[in-house]
Amino acid sequence: AWLQESTLTHGVPEAARRMALCGPADDPVLRTAAAEWARAVRAACGESPEPLAADPGGAPSTPRVVMGLLSAMPRGLREDAQTALASALSDEAYAILPVDGQGAAVVSRTPAGVLYGVFHLIRRLRLCEPLHEPCVSSPKNAWRMLDHWDNADGTIERGYAGKSLFFRGGQIDFDEARVRDYARLLASIGVNAIVINNVNVHETETRFLTEAHLPGVARLADVFRPYGIRLFLSINFASPVDLGDLPTADPLDPRAEDWWRAAADRIYEHIPDFGGFLVKADSEFRPGPFTYGRDHADGANMLARALAPHGGVVIWRAFVYNCLMDWRDRRADRARAAYDHFVPLDGRFLDNVLIQIKNGPMDFQVREPVSPLFGGLSDTNVMLEFQITQEYTGQQRHVCYLAPMWKEVLDFDTHARGPGSTVAEIASGKLFGRPQGGVAGVANAGDDVNWTGHSLAQANLYAFGRLAWDPSLDSAEIAHEWARLTYGDDPDVVRAVMGILMASWPAYEAYTAPLGVGWMVNPGHHDGPNPEGYEYSKWGTYHYADWQGVGVDRTMATGTGYTGQYHEPVRSLFEHLETCPDELLLFFHHVPYTHVLHSGKTVIQHIYDAHFDGVEAVAWMIEAWRRLQGRIDPVRHERILARLEDQMQRAIEWRDVINTYFYRKCGIPDARGRYIYP
């Protein structure tokens, strides 16, 4: 992936060849930091760096790399580092300072911070940037988490890259070297938490918190620990009942609370730095507090009290909606659900609870507005949930670089506290002064040899980590950095890879469901076009296309009232046809096919044009990729070419199915006379 170990033809700077570690050498994370640096230097130039004392004493000092804890730095460096780190809020922040000219010191208040700083230095080494350039970097988000939807049988819900890295045949069973490499990848992008099992917790995973399985969970935690990554479990809210211990899981029944307290105590005996629980409750047939007439605050707080003495947290998902809806009821609206459920509970959740909110109000579609729950909750910790795995964005058969989409979400201004109330400020906890915050991503990795099925999908994992650390980074710059780290410095290669990545999300959006209406996929696996696959179903995912028009009226004036969940001026922006952005038009409004967009095109002509253009964009990607033959290793070149050619067939299918669907509905021909199947 991006931790390539090829020899660097331009060599390594003198300073890289000597290193000193400051701080307890038996600290596992510091040890990792030193080992990673040594490994990177060895890969780059064939020789391990020479270990030195941190403080050269009276001896003439030589350019070197010093790494370690602030408290253990030699005089001089310590004062400089202290000044540099003074304004950094997070304990995971690091500073890089020049040492004796071309040398560099990586300093942090914590071992994890040192590790992140060392990975920054490794990036500089690989990208041929000066090591000694001073910088301070502090993570914007305290929790930077990956949610695995892995099942004990080794399958992965919505996984497109092979089987689970953690489980096989109903057991915790893993290849330690492989998982260690995974931990390295994650630490190198700043991820500090991992949920190892699916939020849909089945029978076997329900037992993960029993004595039979905890030693296995602990072995996994042992692999992640030296990389500064805390392990979490998804839990089944009905565990006390399903494991046969109690007749009830009522969160207000003291027996249930005692049961969870005992479970937490047991877990922490095995895993002293266990992170906590991720919970999907009362959602898509999962059990939860509603069974007992209780609410989500009752449920989350019970678990939070069990974990609090150990420093654990509860991550409670806001993905709660009625999945037995009636298509004929035009007032009912799934998009409203998370807000309607959780805003009334604002202020009732304990401080070690975070409400994990999907970026959009529906479900990880290629285009959705930002969930109004961001800015709706002000007295509750929240966490933003992205989907790195490409369930609705091409299932890793289509290239779809998601960072530009995530950036739009992070930069979105909710106006909850006036201008500047962005989702990034809310998720981090900063806007409302919350004690906890973070960003989670549903993982896209499996045991495929290239981790993500499609090699270019590695860019999404990379970008997720980089943005969770620093949401102000630019998505094109991340793509550039990733391309150079992964494919080397040939400018033509870098240009082509970047071009493909940056064109990919707009292309995918263009040839799939139009103008924010979403879905139009095959039910179940969610792959490929099926315009009425979810129309008339119980899931609440409709577009209401008829012979005259298409789209969902979510206005306050005549629709479901969903727009009223946003703060002004966002509410009015979406409410009115005149101001609603084109790309979200059909999410918010039902309009005739002849409605004219801000772009000047009619809705129907936009649909036709986008679908033809989207396919053209894929043709361009294939050309750009072909030209790289001989410029990158043949294995990756051929595999990606095969994926792109497959994407072309799929894009054509999407184009034709969607265009024909709308042509049949409305009978309006393409103004440019292109062929549309009648």
- Give me the residues that bind ligand GCW (CB under 6 A), please: 149, 157-158, 199-200, 280, 284, 319, 363, 391
Residue matched to tokens 């035009």: 330
Min dist. Cβ of residue 336 to ligand GCW (A): 17
Min dist. Cβ of residue 200 to ligand GCW (A): 5
Residue nearest to ligand GCW (CB): 363
Min dist. Cβ of residue 370 to ligand GCW (A): 17
Asked whether the bond before 569 is cis by omega within 30 degrees of 0, the reply is yes
| Amino acid found at 266 | R
Min dist. Cβ of residue 286 to ligand GCW (A): 8
Comparison of 200 and 248: residue with beta carbon closer to ligand GCW? 200
Comparison of 334 and 571: residue with beta carbon closer to ligand GCW? 334
Tokens of residue 115, six digits: 């590790």
Comparison of 159 and 404: residue with beta carbon closer to ligand GCW? 159
Diameter of the chain by CA atoms?
87
The span from the CA of 278 to the CA of 314, in Å, is 6
The span from the CA of 234 to the CA of 314, in Å, is 10
284 classed as catalytic: yes
391 classed as catalytic: yes
Comparison of 206 and 605: residue with beta carbon closer to ligand GCW? 206
For residue 286, the tally of other CB atoms under 10 A from its CB is 18
Comparison of 158 and 606: residue with beta carbon closer to ligand GCW? 158
Per-state percent for the chain, helix, strand, coil, to nearest 5? 40, 15, 45
Comparison of 280 and 334: residue with beta carbon closer to ligand GCW? 280
Min dist. Cβ of residue 363 to ligand GCW (A): 4
Between helices 111-126 and 475-487, what is the axis angle to 10°? Answer: 70
Spot the catalytic one: 257, 368, 385, 391: 391
Min dist. Cβ of residue 338 to ligand GCW (A): 12
DSSP code of 2?
A: -
> What are residue 117's phi and psi, to 5 degrees?
-65, -35
HEC per residue, 343-400: HHHCCCCCCCEEEEEECCCCCCCCCCCCCCCECCECCCCEEEEEECCCCCCCCCCCCC
Tokens of residue 243, six digits: 């494991």
Closest to 590 in 3D by CA, of 554, 624, 619: 554
Spot the catalytic one: 205, 250, 333, 363: 363
Contacts of residue 306, defined as CB under 8 A and 6 or more positions apart, other chains included, come to 257, 260, 261, 263, 264
Comparison of 389 and 647: residue with beta carbon closer to ligand GCW? 389
Angle made by CA atoms 203, 209, 213, in degrees to the nearest 5: 80
Min dist. Cβ of residue 199 to ligand GCW (A): 5
Comparison of 392 and 654: residue with beta carbon closer to ligand GCW? 392
Comparison of 81 and 440: residue with beta carbon closer to ligand GCW? 440
With residue 51 as reference, give the H or E element that holds it: strand 50-51
The span from the CA of 304 to the CA of 283, in Å, is 19
Spot the catalytic one: 211, 265, 269, 284: 284
Residue matched to tokens 């150990």: 310
Min dist. Cβ of residue 539 to ligand GCW (A): 9
The span from the CA of 363 to the CA of 409, in Å, is 14
Min dist. Cβ of residue 280 to ligand GCW (A): 5
448 classed as catalytic: no
With residue 85 as reference, give the H or E element that holds it: helix 77-85
Comparison of 95 and 199: residue with beta carbon closer to ligand GCW? 199
The span from the CA of 587 to the CA of 580, in Å, is 10
Cα distances from 511 to residues 393, 606, 610, 614, in angstroms, run: 11, 11, 6, 5
HEC per residue, 521-584: ECCCCCCCECCCCCCCCCCCCCCCCCCCEECCCCCCCCCCCHHHHCCCCHHHHHHCCCCCCHHH
103-108 sheet: strands from edge to edge:
50-51, 18-22, 65-69, 103-108, 94-99, 135-137
Comparison of 319 and 566: residue with beta carbon closer to ligand GCW? 319
* CB of 191 closer than 8 Å to CB of 145: yes
Min dist. Cβ of residue 158 to ligand GCW (A): 5
Closest to 353 in 3D by CA, of 464, 251, 271: 251
Min dist. Cβ of residue 164 to ligand GCW (A): 14
Catalytic residues: 284, 363, 391
